[in-house]
């Protein structure tokens, strides 16, 4: 953790005490794990967000995921492309502003809805296609917590159209295609990713993962 917390951590002593107390309980109760010192704070923050210890083991990292996420945050002005508005709303504005990061989503854009209706696809698919047309996916942190079809489309764009996000955080939750979409992401080698096995996931976890990356980046900048 950061010795002197700045904007990426709780800003009050009371808030820090509660959060650090929670992290200490997680560390005491989690048991063994195989995560690296860089990966574990991210997994721990996800456990903290959901009080679910199963994310110890369900969370999987591409070998370059943490390095790629760190570089993307420290680069500044990196777009964060989300599948749903909930992710953008959940991210801390001061924490993002500290690194010049700008979250965006396209799921509710009228042209996205129109294309989805005309082509018989989901809005999530068309949202990712619009992000790609507008040049927002290359070099971006892509966070998907709700829509498996968005994740499947991102993988297609990577493999068929050469799109190269800096990092894909693929954690859609659900019963239809969610596990399969994440399994598909975990076969990608060209682009770093962080994923969750199985049906569990959600926008809250994507937010937690991004906040962990911000904390990691600030600690490295201060070192």
Active site residue 102: no
Sign, Cα dihedral of 205, 98, 193, 87:
positive
**Tokens encoding 179:** 């596990």
**Tokens encoding 134:** 């507008």
Point out which residues pair with 144 in neighbouring strands.
170
CA-closest candidate to residue 88, choices 12, 141, 156: 141
Question: What's the CA gap between 184 and 124, in Å, rounded?
Answer: 17
Among left, alpha and beta (phi > 0; psi -120 to 50; other), residue 141 is beta
Q: How far is CA 45 from CA 12, 26, 96, 139, 211, in A?
A: 18, 9, 17, 24, 8
Let me know: does 47 contact 26? Beta carbons within 8 Å: yes
The single residue of 48, 62, 102, 211 carrying the catalytic annotation is: 48
Q: Hey, is 137 helix, strand or coil?
A: coil
Catalytic residues: 48
């Amino acid at each position: 953790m950061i010795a002197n917390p700045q904007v990426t951590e709780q800003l009050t002593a009371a808030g820090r005490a509660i959060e650090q107390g929670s992290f200490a309980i997680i560390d005491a109760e989690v048991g063994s794990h195989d995560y690296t010192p860089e990966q574990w704070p991210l997994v721990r923050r996800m456990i903290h967000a959901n009080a679910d210890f199963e994310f110890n083991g369900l969370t999987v990292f591409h070998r370059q995921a943490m390095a790629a996420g760190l570089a993307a945050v420290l680069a500044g002005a990196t777009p964060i492309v989300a599948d749903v508005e909930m992710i953008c709303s959940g991210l801390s504005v001061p924490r993002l502003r500290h690194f010049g990061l700008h979250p965006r989503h396209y799921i509710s854009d009228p042209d996205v809805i129109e294309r989805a209706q005309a082509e018989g696809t989901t809005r999530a698919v068309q949202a990712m296609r619009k992000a790609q047309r507008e040049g927002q996916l290359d070099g971006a942190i892509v966070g998907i917590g709700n829509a498996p079809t968005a994740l499947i489309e991102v993988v297609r764009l990577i493999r068929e159209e050469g799109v190269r996000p800096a990092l894909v955080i693929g954690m859609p939750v659900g019963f239809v295609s969610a596990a399969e979409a994440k399994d598909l992401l975990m076969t990608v080698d060209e682009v770093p990713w962080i994923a969750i096995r199985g049906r569990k996931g959600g926008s809250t976890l994507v937010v937690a993962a991004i906040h962990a990356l911000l904390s990691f980046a600030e600690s490295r900048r201060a070192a």
